[in-house]
Amino acid sequence: MNKILKFIFISVFTIFVLSSCSDKDAFVDICVGNEHSIVLTKNGAVYGIGDNKSGECNVKNWRDIIAIAAGDIHSVGLKKDGTVVACGDNEDKQCDVQDWKDIVAIAAGNACTFGVKKDGTVVAIGKNNEGQCDIQDWKDIVAIAAGKDHTVGLKKDGTVVACGNNNFGQCNVEDWEDIIDICAGDEHTVGLKSDKTVVAVGNDDESQSFVKDWRKIISIAAGRKHTVGLREDGIVVARGDNSFQQCEVGGFEKISAIYAGKDNTILFGRNGEINARGADRNRQCDVRYLSRIGFFDKIGNDERLKSFNNFANKLEKEWETFRTEFREISDGIIFLILFAIGAFVLFGLYKLAVKQEEEAKKNYNGKIKNIKYSTSGIDILAENSKNEAVIKASEKKHEKYPEKIDMLAETTREAAIIKAKENAIKRQEREEKNIKIKANKKREKEMKELREKCKEINKSIIK
């Protein structure tokens, strides 16, 4: 009980603090990796949610961040001073960015990290098995996007360059012009033109590159095998793989920003509401709970921030403990309830059997009493027969044989009494025997039904 009350208190306190957040705590960017998401707030704080096996969500101590990027299993942040921080999987050195300076834009791909410098050149580090990091000769770059094994750069003049794997033609962008924004999926590349139309090249096995009919688009995003576009009227369109419902965005209106992960889509409404669609194996779509938690910065110094972070971690542990214990308690409660129901039913059946047995005994005693009454009637009948015999004998007026007449009358009376008693005894024995047989049969039947019901109840309790 103490754990339950403690959990309720912590939850209510957290909700109260969340509700006190100011607009400065609202998010300005969201990036989605393979199975994790990170959120950037207006005050430069970053928060992560989802899979954290490689430490890709260890961003709570980042400060003064102005841009973020999420690779498959690593996260990158650009600071106000042009330096870069990174965390997560570092098997290919994709997080070794501590020496980067004068960076104005960043991107993260599959085990690789990119940075655009003030002078328009690009730096890259990490996996380069397909030449995705061969960007040394790029110039005048203003934006960059990373796919699974290819990289795309947007130049000042609206043209686009690309390098890396080109098995599906995802790097065939040399003839693109008037591009104002770019994004990259695993094996396709998407560009937004100044006339608000969209172009795409690369793998189209799920129709993720079929966007030539899109119009009035002001923002684009690409996932693993799906593409999302935001229209100027706040309506969202999507095309491609929909295995996790990541393309089911037709029912949303007044959307101001869109984001896409591997197999998910995140929409931010003009009223501050966040909606997420797609794979959520590790809660990477639960960014709606992170959109206003930048309040940590309002607490004050790092010690108090650390204290509150410990408090939040404790809340999560309490929740997991509560869930485990409640599951065990609920199983026990269910068993007790079933046991009580079974006991109640058995007691009710027992009381019913006792009542039926009492009624049977009562009926049996009543029939025995009726038989006794019948025997008394037979005695009266015999006495009447005696009187009739005497009257008839006297009426004959055989004065000559008065003694014989009296003897005959007495004999007739005695014979009638004996015969009546014998018949009454036989009848009583037959009725008692029949009553006992019927009562035994009824009792056996009732006990058999009671045993069957008990078996059924025991089976349900065991289940």
Neighbour tally for 129: CB within 10 Å: 13
Of 273, 292, 311, the residue that ends a domain is 292
406-444 residue pLDDT tens = 566 566 667 777 777 777 788 878 887 787 787 777 777
Could you tell me if residue 168 is inside a domain?
Answer: yes
| Residue 7 clears pLDDT 50, i.e. is over it | no
Q: Tens of pLDDT along 106-130?
A: 999 999 999 999 999 999 999 999 9
Residue 365 sits in which domain range? 327-462
Q: Is residue 301 part of a domain?
A: no
Q: Summarize pLDDT for 265-297 with one digit per residue, the tens.
A: 999 887 777 888 888 776 656 655 544 443 333
- The amino acid occupying position 417 is I
Residue 196 lies in a domain: yes
pLDDT at 95 over 70: yes
Do residues 161 and 128 touch, judged by C-beta distance below 8 A? no
Q: Is pLDDT of 248 > 70?
A: yes
Percent of the chain exceeding pLDDT 90 equals: 45
Encoding tokens for residue 227? 């593409």
Instruction: Say yes or no: 255 and 384 in one domain.
Output: no
Residue 312: pLDDT over 70: no
Phi, psi of 443 (to 5 degrees): -65, -40
* pLDDT tens digits for range 133-170: 999 999 999 999 999 999 999 999 999 999 999 999 99
**pLDDT for the residue 302:** 41
Q: What is the DSSP letter of 24?
A: G
Which tens digits make up the pLDDT trace of 318-361? 666 666 666 666 666 777 787 788 777 778 777 877 777 777 66
Distance of alpha carbon 187 from the chain centroid: 34
pLDDT in tens, 193-208: 999 999 999 999 999 9
One domain for residues 216 and 347:
no
Q: Which residues contact 288 (CB under 8 A, 6 or more apart)?
A: 273, 274, 275, 276
Q: Domains in the chain: how many in total? A: 2
The reply to whether 271 and 357 lie within a common domain is no
For residues 448 and 451, give the distance between their C-alpha atoms in angstroms, rounded to a whole number. Answer: 5
pLDDT over 70 at 191, yes or no? yes
Q: 337 and 206, same structural domain?
A: no
Query: Among 292, 319, 354, where does a domain finish?
Result: 292
Whether the predicted pLDDT of 402 surpasses 70: no
Residue 426 lies in a domain: yes
Whether the CA torsion 200, 206, 211, 217 is positive or negative: it is negative
Give yes or no for residue 250 having a pLDDT over 90: no
At residue 14 the predicted structure's pLDDT band, cuts being 50, 70 and 90, is very low
Question: Is the Cβ–Cβ distance between 152 and 145 less than 8 Å?
Answer: yes
Angle formed at CA 246 by CA 243 and CA 248, multiple of 5 degrees: 105
> From residue 182, how far is each of 17, 151, 188 by CA, in Å?
38, 11, 11
Q: Tell me whether residue 314 is in a domain.
A: no
Going by C-alpha positions, the residue among 370, 388, 364, 380 that lies closest to residue 421 is 380
Q: Is residue 29 part of a domain?
A: yes
333 and 213 in a common domain: no
Alpha carbon distance 376, 368 (integer Å): 13
Residues 132 and 193 in one domain: yes
Shared domain for 367 and 442, answered yes or no, is yes
148: three-class secondary structure by DSSP: coil
Same domain, 116 and 44: yes
Position 12 pLDDT exceeds 60: no
In angstroms, rounded to a whole number, what is the distance separating the alpha carbons of residues 354 and 100? 90
Low-confidence winner among 1-10, 204-213, 399-408, 419-428 (lowest mean pLDDT): 1-10
Q: Specify the pTM.
A: 0.60
Query: Is 60 exceeded by the pLDDT of residue 400?
Result: no
Q: Provide the 3-class DSSP secondary structure of residue 396.
A: helix
- Of the chain, the percentage scoring pLDDT greater than 70 comes to 69
> What's the rounded Cα separation, in Å, for the pair 179 and 155?
9
Cα 327 to Cα 391: distance, rounded to the nearest angstrom? 96
Q: What is the pLDDT of residue 388?
A: 59
Q: How far apart are CA 189 and CA 208, in angstroms?
A: 10
**Confidence at residue 304, expressed as pLDDT on a 0 to 100 scale:** 42
Confidence of residue 385 (pLDDT cuts 50, 70, 90): low
Tell me what pLDDT residue 283 has.
62
Residues 180, 62: one domain?
yes
Coil, helix or strand at residue 224: coil
User: Residue 171 and residue 152: Cα distance in Å, rounded?
Assistant: 8
Q: Does residue 72 lie in a domain region?
A: yes
Is residue 221 domain-shared with residue 283, that is, in the same domain?
A: yes
| Cα 426–chain centre separation | 76
Q: What residues form DSSP beta bridges with 320?
A: none
CATH number, domain of 151, equals 2.130.10.30
**Does residue 213 fall inside a structural domain?**
yes
